[in-house]
A and B are shown apart, each in its own frame.
Chain A
Amino acid sequence: MKPSAFDYQRVARVEEAIDLLARHGEDAKILAGGQSLVAMMNYRLVEPKLLIDITGIEGLASIEEKGGFVDVGAAVTQARLMAWPALAERLPLLAKAMPHIGHFQTRSRGTVCGSIAHSDPSSELPLVLATLGGQVVLRSKRGSRTLAADDFQTGPLSTAREPDEMVVAVRFPVRQAGAGYAFDEVTQRQGDFAICSVAAVATAQEVRLGVGGVAGRPTVTRLSGAALANPDGALNAFAWELGGSDDIHATAQYRRQLVRRIGRRIIEEAQSCRS
């Protein structure tokens, strides 16, 4: 339960962080809130040789709306985004999902970008980003690139990030006019990993439905027309497609049932709160 030895560097600018990443690659890890990374280090599931502490980089501390997105910098904690005055108005799905993330005591340090970079298949933020069709901004000494959420997270705890790249921001699309949003999840205890989490965006034409905790990464499907008028058949097919497996928390059958039941309820809730 003690991490193995490593070196620690606190950096003041993104350029210093990506310079260290270019030199140390896979041996280095970015440290922001540390709410997943340090627990994994305590278990020695990861043993980085260098931690690059980015919490002091001023340029990464902003929450800013521009061009139809809200850009959240890599040093922004979950608690800070939850306290952002425009959250419920501009990012209603996040406003509904964020109280489910961990606990008051972990949201105070855990970062928004950190959770997405960590890419746990049952985490709320990667699911919201995928369901909204958001983006992840990566930087390295080679330059900057922006990936769609779907291209960023490739599987459980794995992403398209190269070893010399760092996540500098994530971009959440702002509320669509007339759309409705809903989120819910099932956990064994408040704040635990979700056995199944469901997010939905309902517009006049379709519902985008995202499910976390079942497949190896958040998975989004679109329902429209006849499938939306009577969604049980489509939800059943989607539940099987996700290919969940038995583990110590739940059986695959139970997870499929959750997709069908919570999915149905969340679709209806998202449709009913369309403005």
Chain B
Amino acid sequence: MPELKTIGRKSISFVLNGKPVVAEVEPRMLLSDFLRQELGRTDIHVGCEHGVCGACTIRFDGRPARSCLMFAVQADGHRVDTVESLATQEGALNDLQRAFRTHHGLQCGYCTPGILMSAEAYLEGHPDPSEAEVREMLSGHLCRCTGYVGMVRAILATAKARKDGKAAAE
């Protein structure tokens, strides 16, 4: 008989996209699975599940993080932001999202939520990046459609527009 594993669930509470979440989770529940399977947040795209592809990237206390390399219990007491945090409540896309559309920064869109969260975190710390720096940042994400050229342009255009104080997509 295999040993039955009965490890108790833990209570967690954290802030997701500005709203409180309270739940009970098994410690082994990945944060990516918790967000997608338990909370139904389909803006979490799960790709490789071992930290390589970057599709599931979120912001954890503002910093970019692979949600497949974290457990939901680790979120207790912290702040988690997904791509849903970028648009307004009415669903209007933010300037970076509009720039991705304008510059063809996505095709199938599977990798896009993670890339947008990385790019937002990156631009906060690096408001005036070079193309090489943007490419270095994007090396943490796999995209099999675009060849990355459009998203490099979108991120650089957004940085410039933010610097110039006007929306990139205008």
Contact = CB atoms under 8 A, between A and B. Distances in A.
Contacts of A108: 63-65, 121
B137 interface: yes
B69 A109 contact: yes
Query: For this complex, into which size category does the number of interface residues on chain A fall?
Result: 20 to 34
Contacts of A38: 30, 51, 68-71
A103 B140 contact: yes
Given A1-B49, A7-B27, A105 B7 contact: no
Contacts of A189: 139
B43 to A, nearest CB: 17
Interface string B130-158: 00000011011100000000000000000
Given A43-B50, A103-B140, A190-B139, A5 B63 contact: no
Chain A, interface SS category: loop
A105 B27 contact: no
Nearest to B27: A8
Nearest to A1: B49
Given A2-B49, A105-B140, 12 more contacts: A4-B5, A6-B7, A10-B76, A31-B74, A38-B30, A38-B70, A39-B50, A42-B50, A104-B118, A109-B63, A109-B69, A191-B139
Contacts of A6: 7, 27-28
Contact of A3 (B28, B64, B118, B139): B28
A2 B28 contact: yes
A270 to B, nearest CB: 24
Contacts of A35: 51, 66, 69
A49 to B, nearest CB: 9
A191 B140 contact: yes
A104 B28 contact: no
Interface residues of B, number: 34
B66 A105 contact: yes
Central interface residue in A3, A102, A105, by most chain B CB within 10 Å:
A105
Interface in A1-48: 1-8, 10, 31, 34-35, 38-39, 42-43
Contacts of B73: 8, 10
A103 B139 contact: yes
A51 interface: yes
Contacts of B49: 1-2, 42
A164 interface: no
A106 B140 contact: yes
